[in-house]
Structure 1
């Protein structure tokens, strides 16, 4: 009987739309949250930057995206704009591609910032489109959508060892392929999304339930801690392994790819579980299970580090899709705002953390920063205990 109910829920998904949105998400995050941290060593050598300036590049990308996403989300909850979906993806991919031709550091920061704004416009609309296409399986649909983003982040780490180290920043010219693919995917689903917004506008305005502001605030804090840990590893793991163990940047980026790839698998499985068990519990278990692997990571390298990175990435990111659906449960009247807070502001705050930790690295050393990053899942686990259990409402229903 349980299997039958799951099949009925899954049958309500418009799979073509969800997978197209997932592919668009992959392209967006490939050239923003994926490539930008991976490009840090290349930007550093090209523009002769220190750790703080290098982290500032990541900050501009994540900060513009994180601030704009909840703003776009709140605005489009009242005034939906279907055209923001293709326009946002176009700006995020195009401007990142153009950084390969930036004449100086100031122009680089401007292009990175515009790319972040494009990502900020894309995410709330894409997440709402995923919900509209999800039927009764919101967790599964968000899992597919978020796996696209996480896969893009992971693949971004491979760009350096595959061709950017050999070709330099001008190798970003190849990302015009991502621009074209993004226009193709979003153009394909744009008519459906425009019509769906029109037909569902009244239902979205009259959604049942009250917004739980306190719980949302706590959830966003936990997402920020998770983001600091994730982005901190993506940015500083290559530097840390280079300094501590003499590992090449290309090999260290491959390790980061494995960490994020394991996280993509965890995101999918966690999203599937969100349709079957309380989302608060999934978030709590995700943080708790990641703690022992986080604490061991700074002391291991080589094959032992891989053994730690795989389960660490799996567990720490297994709540990624869950937190989006959970926030939409806590903010039933503001679905796009919920997406903007969890995918945008929460995750984008990782860029702010990366800048802070970059400055701290210059001041007290990279080792201290890496140890701090490893304790963030502990704090996230503690805070997760205080979130409301959505399983009670599920049981009552």
Structure 2
């Protein structure tokens, strides 16, 4: 039997397609949501920015992607366009690469914004392609796809200590390699995806179940809360460790990488469990398990901090793939819109959180930001409790 709101699907997981889409997702998020927060110190020193201006760079990247993803998703649910898959990845990687030669702060914001739009076009198409290639293993397929993105975000944290600090902002031109790799991966997938979209249109006309808009709104708020946790640590943990404990940016970026790498492991395990357990329960448990580590986060540093960051990253991001599949369950007639809301609007709204945290840091200090982060998993747990439980549908599938 199939889940509520599902359509007939092929039983086999197309591993080649799913892993290729995961690789494309890695490249996209490496040079957008991954490297942009890591580049904050470099952009700050190059363009002589304050915390608010630095967080505005992150906001432009996240917000343009955030706004455009559900719009692209809603549009392509009605009018599928296979070419948006390669074009979106091309724009996101190319424009970030060109920030290496941006003449001033205004050009930097423009290129970052276009890169965000490219990411906004890429994500709904790539997530839909993953769903089309998933067969009956939707959770596992989304886990592979999302681990690609999470791995890209984690690797982005290593760009600064590896070579960007020594090469300066012009070192970003080396990301032209990612542009080329992205064209190769999406170019190979394009014929398959174009053909699959025709079959997808027929299957959507046969879909059963109604969209549950109220539950989707609540789910998106939970995703935003989770995103604020992630972006708060990705952007501000290096600054916090530097100014509070005297840690070097290189070492602090490595700690951020460990947090995100643990999240990538959690994403894969959580997504795999989504094929066997109620998705609402996985989301709730991930938030509840994050609470003790969030409460300890502002007070530990050095080796002791790793005992907090590793489980915190694992649990808080273990619902990443789950929320995509869960939203598709709640929006059975709008698969791309569901992906755009959870991967795009929800996660991209973290850029708003980055700007809020930046202004808060300028006004009252970095320590207050981490006191706010302490209580976000508590809020996420309370909201997750009121989401509809899909246990009955999982048991009958």
| Pairwise same-fold verdict (TM > 0.5) | yes
CA distance in 2, matches of 1:45, 1:396: 57
Structure 1: distance between partners of 2:396 and 2:269 = 25
- Tell me, in whole angstroms, the C-alpha distance in 1 between the residues paired with 2:184 and 2:367: 44
Aligned counterpart, 1:178: 178
Matched-pair contact (CA < 8 Å) for 2:275–2:394: no
Aligned mates of 2:206, 2:254 — CA distance in 1: 47
CA contact (8 A) 1:62 1:351 kept: yes
**8 Å Cα contact 1:206/1:333 also seen in 2:** no
Q: How does 1:97-136 map to 2 (within 5 A)?
A: 97-136=97-136
CA deviation profile, 1:200-223 (whole Å, cap 9, x unmatched): 211123311100001000000000
1:75-154 → structure 2 map (5 Å cutoff): 75-154=75-154
- TM-score normalised over the length of structure 1: 0.97
Matched, 1:239 2:239: yes
How big is the shift at 1:395? 2.9
> What is the rounded CA distance, in whole Å, between the counterparts of 2:319 and 2:200 in structure 1?
28
Contact 1:10 1:137 in 2 (8 A): no
- CA–CA separation in structure 2 for the residues paired with 1:162 and 1:156: 10
Instruction: Give the secondary structure class of the aligned counterpart of 2:200.
Output: helix
Q: Secondary structure at the match of 1:150?
A: helix
Cα distance in 1 for partners of 2:189, 2:363 equals: 49
Conserved in 2, the CA contact under 8 Å of 1:297 and 1:309? Answer: yes
RMSD between superposed Cα atoms in Å:
1.1
Any conservation in 1 of the 2:295–2:375 contact (CA below 8 Å)? yes
1:190 aligns with 2:190: yes
Give the drift of 1:269: 0.2
The alignment partner of 1:387 has SS state of: coil
Whether 2:51 is the aligned partner of 1:51: answer: yes
Number of residues of Structure 1 aligned to a counterpart in Structure 2 = 389
Alignment correspondent of 1:285? 285
Give the equivalent residue in structure 1 for 2:379.
379
Q: CA deviation at 1:396?
A: 4.4
- Cα deviation for residue 11 of structure 1 reads 6.8
Question: Structure 1, unaligned stretches of length 5 or more?
Answer: 1-8
Q: Deviations over 1:211-263 (max 9, x none)?
A: 00010000000000000010110000000000110000010000000000000
CA contact (8 A) 1:10 1:136 kept: yes
Q: How does 1:1-397 map to 2 (within 5 A)?
A: 12-397=12-397
Q: CA shift at 1:338, angstroms? A: 0.3
Of residues 362-371 and 323-332 in structure 1, the stretch that sits farther from structure 2 once superposed is 362-371
Give a deviation string over 1:311-352, Cα, whole Å, max 9, x none. Answer: 000000000000000000000000000000000000000001
Q: Which runs of 4+ in 1 moved over 3 A?
A: none
Three-state SS of the structure 1 residue aligned to 2:349 is helix
Answer yes or no: is the 8 Å Cα contact 1:25–1:148 preserved in 2.
yes
| Ranges in structure 2 where 5+ consecutive residues have no aligned partner | 1-8
Q: CA deviation at 1:199?
A: 2.2
Question: In the superposition, relative to structure 1, how do residues 61 and 11 fare at CA in structure 2: closer, same or farther (>3 Å)?
Answer: same
Kept in 2, the 8 Å contact 1:82–1:197? The answer is yes
The worse-fitting range, judged by mean Cα deviation, of 192-201 and 252-261 is: 192-201
SS at match of 2:261: helix
Structure 2: distance between partners of 1:357 and 1:55: 8
Change (3 A) 1:56 1:302: same
Tell me the alpha carbon deviations over residues 146-182 of structure 1, each in whole angstroms, 9 at most, x when there is no partner: 0000000000000000000010000001100000000
